[in-house]
Amino acid sequence: MTIVYSVLFMSVLGVGAGIFLAFASAKFAVKKDPRIALIEASLPGANCGACGFPGCAAFAKAVAEGKAPIEGCIPGKRSGVPEKLKLILDTDIDKLIALFDENEEDAEKTLEKLLASSGKAVKAAPPKIQRPTQEEIDSYKEKLKENPRAAVIFAVLPNINCALCGSPGCAAFAIKVANKDEDIAKCVPGKPQNVSQKVAKIMALSEAELQKIIEETSGEPAEIKKKFAS
């Protein structure tokens, strides 16, 4: 009998406490800032770190708090991200919360509605980027050894493997650029580092000159990069 009573008593108490807490958490629920979710949904999602924040989520939070400029997202600059962020930040917060609730807190859907209702022409969202796996990156790095021009180009790239260019990693992109299959302008994070000029210089070099650079630096990318620093 004692066992039955103990089990019953504890069950009733446990379920009672659970129901009480469930009610309390629903009653005192804290609304999160919908702007953070919306800003994150409008970013490319590459987590490339070019903005200076650790990942897109951190950048979104900083923009919502006014600690980061809306032009901070370098890969998203040309695909209309700053315009979208401006729209989100300029919209009345109560209106945003209402819209967010209406769409069951789905950030992507809310963003779509918000863009549609704004009437202003905002460029379509860039496709979400699939980042390459470490194996893919490494397999292309192996191939660099057979291609001195690609190896030198690889050395001047940012080497963050953000995949914004559409190639699986910086090594793969360098090989394509060396074979003139790809345009260096596609390396968006490399822009502030004048990668385009450096690559133009490399493309003008002859095979012998390239071999010389590789020998001088024993193929160390950091050493090669120093040669093109100016």
Q: Which residues bind other proteins (CB under 8 A)?
A: 2, 5-6, 9-10, 13-14, 17, 20-21, 24-25, 28-30
Shorter beta-carbon distance to other proteins: residue 31 or 180 = 31
CB of 27 to other proteins, least distance (A): 8
Shorter beta-carbon distance to other proteins: residue 32 or 201 = 32
CB of 148 to other proteins, least distance (A): 56
Q: CA nearest 73: which of 125, 14, 29?
A: 125
Shorter beta-carbon distance to other proteins: residue 25 or 130 = 25
Buried b / exposed e over 4-26, threshold 16 CB at 10 Å, is: eeeeeeeeeeeeeeeeeeeeeee
Shorter beta-carbon distance to other proteins: residue 28 or 104 = 28
Sign of CA dihedral 99, 101, 103, 106: positive
**Cα(202)–Cα(200) distance, integer angstroms:** 5
Within a 13 Å sphere around the CA of 42, how many CA atoms are in the beta-carbon half? 35
**Cα(210)–Cα(216) distance, integer angstroms:** 10
Phi-psi region of 68 (alpha: psi -120 to 50; beta: other; left: phi over 0): beta
Shorter beta-carbon distance to other proteins: residue 17 or 200 = 17
CB of 21 to other proteins, least distance (A): 5
CB of 35 to other proteins, least distance (A): 17
158 touches 187 (CB < 8 A): yes
CB of 83 to other proteins, least distance (A): 32
Q: CA nearest 196: which of 209, 213, 183, 180?
A: 183
CB of 23 to other proteins, least distance (A): 10
Shorter beta-carbon distance to other proteins: residue 6 or 130 = 6
